[in-house]
Amino acid sequence: MTTGRSRRMGLARAGTGHLAFAAVMIAASALTFLRMTAVALLLPIADFALYATVVAAGAFLAGPLSFGSIEATIKSFPRLVSDGNEAGMMGEARAIRRLAMLRALALAVPLLLLGYLADIAWVRLAGLAMLVALGNAANGLVASMQRAVGSPSTLAGGTALRAGITFAAVSLAALGGSLQAVIAIEIVSMIAAALASEWLFFRRASGKAGGPVPPAPPETGGRLIFVAFTAVAAPFYLDRFYVTTTMGAKSAAQYAVLALILLGASLLVNTIAQRAGPDAIRRIYHGRPSEAMKRILGWIAAVSAVWLIGIACFAGILTNGWMPAALERYAIAPAHLLPLAAAGVLLNTALLEFLLIGMDREREFAGAAAVFLVLVLGAALAVNLSGSGLLGLMWSLAACRAVYAAVLVIMLRPVWRPGSKGTAS
């Protein structure tokens, strides 16, 4: 009787913990979405298009700053924690952060000096994009550490802290209406949030702030993961630049808002990936790949359902004329929502990628990513030559993502077989 009551109480506490974790993570994602929305509402249309382009370019360039080192931690950090070597994880993180900082400054400082001295706007913005990349790299590194530890409170608390600091700082800066001030404040707040998150949840809590920490052993596969992630992320982050240069400022601003809506799906997928991805890697590491696959597929179904419900709600707002006047000026049409819905569902390929990484199949992952990038480049060329416009581009990108998802599913077929270990050949 007592044992049954204790078990029920334990399950209730676990359920409450999961709900609290989900609530905090969703709130943090909402703050990120609201930050972008605030900038869209407060800045002039042309400035918001530039802001979205710089921020997206900075997010994309975060990977090249470490050239695979941060990507390698996706797999190496959970394995280090499983082996009880958290100190090695912290040592590796410090070394990677120093390398990313040196590379970012070496590129950003000359660009900023040239841009301001010669009064060339796009060169200044390129320099700022490199510093945005440094902020993203710092946050990505801390997030990788928090995912690896597997503590819901650490992961949720760190994510909420970073989202809250950046939201408050950028929203206040946007009230001033200066594009470069908004970007500069975003850079400072991102770096400050990453450092504060690491200090609160790792250095102070573990008492390892001082003294040398032995570095973790080098992890193979990081550069292949970097190549794969770069190829997959390029269309998601550089599409705004393509639209700006080929379709003009009006289409660029419109697409920036549509990309902002798609960011909701990306945040939702990434929120789930914070726990589901490292959990899948740990299960594969302990010889249970089929179990990891089933859990990932369950998460994909749940995320897809939530996203489609969200798009349906947005369609209702749009068709009933309930859009705020500040967003109506971007002329979003119901026809834009169908390819957006498909693209959001297909972003769940990020969860399938964790399975390939966990199975040490980085080469196959990189091959699938290369196929995707070639398809996207071909689609972009076809859209430009045919003049099919924004809607044609959106459907083309969704089709490319569908092919990429099919390739990943084919590569993961061995995991479905009974008794499969899911290891690399």
Q: For the chain, how many structural domains are there in total?
A: 2
Judgement on whether residues 191 and 70 belong to the same structural domain of the protein: yes
Quote the CA–CA distance of 255 and 300 in Å, as a whole number. 26
pLDDT (0 to 100) of residue 415: 57
Tens of pLDDT, residue by residue over 166-183, are 888 888 888 877 888 888
Domain boundary among 171, 201, 219: 219
Domain span at residue 240?
223-425
SS (H, E, C) the chain: CHHHHHHHHHHHHHHHHHHHHHHHHHHHHHHHHHHHHHHHHHCCHHHHHHHHHHHHHHHHHHHHHHCCHHHHHHHHHHHHHHCCCHHHHHHHHHHHHHHHHHHHHHHHHHHHHHHHHCCCHHHHHHHHHHHHHHHHHHHHHHHHHHHHHCCHHHHHHHHHHHHHHHHHHHHHHHHCCCHHHHHHHHHHHHHHHHHHHHHHHHHHHHCCCCCCCCCCCCCCCHHHHHHHHHHHHHHHHHHHHHHHHHHCHHHHHHHHHHHHHHHHHHHHHHHHHHHHHHHHHHHHHCCCHHHHHHHHHHHHHHHHHHHHHHHHHHHHHHHCCCCCHHHHCCCCCHHHHHHHHHHHHHCCHHHHHHHHHHCCCHHHHHHHHHHHHHHHHHHHHHHHHHCCHHHHHHHHHHHHHHHHHHHHHHHCHHHHCCCCCCCCC
Do 94 and 184 share a domain, yes or no?
yes
Are residue 203 and residue 297 in the same domain, yes or no?
no
Specify which of 13-17, 18-22, 323-327 reaches the highest per-range mean pLDDT. Answer: 323-327
pLDDT of 10 > 60? The answer is no
Compare 231 and 399 and report the one with higher pLDDT.
399
118 and 253 belong to one structural domain: no
Average pLDDT over residues 144-163: 74
Distance CA 419, CA 425 (A): 15
Percent of the chain with pLDDT over 90: 18
Structure tokens at 187: 């850079």
- The pLDDT tens digits for 35-60 are 888 888 888 888 888 888 888 888 88
Both 180 and 269 in a single domain?
Answer: no
Residue ending a domain, choose from 189, 219, 249: 219
Out of 169, 203, 219, a domain closes at 219
Q: Which residue has the higher pLDDT, 324 or 192?
A: 192
- For residue range 375-424, list pLDDT tens digits in order: 999 999 999 899 888 889 999 999 999 999 999 998 887 655 544 444 44
Whether residue 170 sits in one domain with residue 54: yes
Of the CA atoms within 13 Å of residue 47, those in its CB half-sphere come to 16
My answer on whether 271 and 147 are in the same domain is no
pLDDT at 150: 65
For residues 208 and 245, state if they share a domain. Answer: no
Check whether 29 has a pLDDT greater than 80. no
The tens digit of pLDDT for each residue in 261-299 reads 888 888 788 878 877 888 888 888 888 888 888 899 999
Q: What is the mean pLDDT of residues 244-248?
A: 83
Both 301 and 240 in a single domain?
yes
Query: What one-letter code names the amino acid at 305?
Result: A
362, 417: one domain:
yes
pTM flag (> 0.75): no
pLDDT (tens digit per residue) in 99-153: 889 988 998 999 999 988 888 888 888 899 999 999 888 888 888 887 777 666 6
Which of the residue ranges 2-11, 136-145, 293-302, 303-312 would you say has the lowest mean pLDDT?
A: 2-11
Instruction: Report residue 313 as tokens.
Output: 């709600």
Q: How far apart are CA 3 and CA 337, in angstroms?
A: 52
Q: What percent of the chain has pLDDT over 70?
A: 84
Q: 237 and 120: one domain?
A: no
Q: What is the mean pLDDT of the chain?
A: 80
Examine the domain organization and report whether 214 and 227 are in the same domain. Answer: no
Q: How confident is the model at residue 234 (pLDDT cuts 50, 70, 90)?
A: confident
